[in-house]
């Protein structure tokens, strides 16, 4: 019964409920507007590419990866773009590259200031010793004394004129600076039959060879200049 006293019959059983009014084609139904997904930040991609490229090209890419990575992360926080993971990966790779570059520079500096002088000194001394042995060997074969200027010039040409010689790339002269190839017996005697060898690995180091008087004598080699002056830094 209603509030007025009228009787309303109940709905017949099995009658389906009215269809919803919000479906495609229904009156008043509207297609929701299309919204494109957020785009990926371009600098984030640049940061990742630069971080990967640093291991194949140059470490300058590390700086590019770090700078663009930081800029991309700021832009992504402001605009809501995608690519935060790309930017983070580029940053990590960039900082790894910078750390490796710093280690490389430090290792190079340690080599230059700590070991290059010793390497050059050892090389000059080894070359002087090998040259003295070549003089003894040539003098024995030619049955001539080691202190023979012409024999010394022959050894000088053979040991410095080819890569198979002991002293290719070495600077060799008499103790007073006279070139070996045009030195006279008087020059050799004035220099005390001493030859000075120089080798450079960032620093220049010297060794002094005293040519023995007999083939049975051992060539004397000492580190440093033949005049006894101190070597460079």
| Average of per-residue pLDDT across 104-111 | 89
Q: Where are the beta strands (DSSP E) in the chain?
A: 171-174, 194-201, 203-210, 220-223
Count of Cβ atoms closer than 10 Å to residue 198 Cβ: 17
Say if residue 136's pLDDT is above 50. Answer: yes
Q: What is the band of 2 on the pLDDT scale with cuts at 50, 70, 90? A: very low
The CA distance from 39 to 155, in Å, is: 75
- Residue 199 contacts residue 232 (beta carbons within 8 Å): no
- What confidence tens digit (pLDDT) does each residue in 151-204 have? 999 999 999 877 777 887 778 999 999 999 889 999 999 999 999 999 998 899
Q: What is the largest CA-CA distance in the chain?
A: 151
How does DSSP classify residue 114? I
Q: Exposure of 163 by Cβ count < 10 A (0-12 exposed, 13-18 middle, 19+ buried)?
A: exposed
Phi then psi dihedrals of residue 174, to 5 deg: -70, 165
Here the tokens at position 214 are 């007999």
Provide the percentage of residues in the chain whose pLDDT is more than 90.
Answer: 49
The whole-angstrom separation of Cα 180 and Cα 182 is 6
pLDDT in tens, 52-89: 888 776 778 889 999 999 999 999 999 888 999 999 99
Predicted local confidence at residue 135, as pLDDT: 95
- How far is the C-alpha of 50 from the C-alpha of 73, rounded, in Å? 15
pLDDT (mean) for 23-48: 71
> Comparing 2-11, 125-134, 175-184, 208-217, which segment has the lowest mean pLDDT?
2-11
Both tokens assigned to 58? 């140059």
Q: Is the dihedral of CA 125, 127, 129, 132 positive or negative?
A: negative
Note if the pTM is more than 0.85. no
Domain ranges (residues) in the chain: 42-101, 116-223
State how far the Cα of 74 lies from the Cα of 83, in Å rounded to an integer: 11
Exposure string of 115-129, with b = 16+ CB inside 10 Å and e = fewer, is: ebbeebbebbbbbbb
Cβ–Cβ < 8 Å for 127, 166: yes
């Amino acid at each position: 019964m209603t509030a007025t006293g009228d009787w309303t019959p109940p709905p017949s059983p099995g009658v389906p409920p009215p269809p919803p009014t919000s479906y495609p084609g229904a009156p008043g139904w509207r297609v929701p507007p299309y919204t494109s997904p957020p785009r990926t930040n371009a600098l984030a991609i640049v940061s990742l590419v630069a971080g990967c490229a640093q291991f194949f090209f140059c470490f300058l890419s590390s700086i590019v990866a770090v700078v663009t990575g930081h800029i991309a992360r700021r832009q992504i926080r402001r605009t809501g773009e995608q690519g935060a993971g790309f930017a983070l990966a580029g940053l990590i790779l960039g900082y790894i590259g910078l750390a490796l570059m710093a280690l490389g520079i430090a290792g190079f500096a340690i080599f230059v200031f700590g070991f290059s002088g010793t390497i050059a000194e050892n090389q000059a001394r080894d070359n002087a010793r090998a040259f003295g042995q070549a003089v003894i060997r040539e003098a024995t074969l030619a049955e001539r004394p080691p202190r023979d200027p012409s024999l010394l010039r022959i050894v000088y040409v053979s040991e410095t004129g080819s890569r198979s010689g002991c002293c290719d790339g070495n600077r060799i002269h008499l103790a007073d600076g006279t070139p070996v190839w045009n030195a006279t017996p008087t020059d050799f005697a004035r220099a005390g039959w001493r030859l000075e060898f120089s080798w450079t690995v960032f620093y220049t180091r010297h060794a002094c060879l005293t040519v023995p008087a007999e083939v049975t004598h051992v060539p004397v080699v000492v580190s440093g200049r033949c005049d006894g002056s101190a070597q460079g830094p």
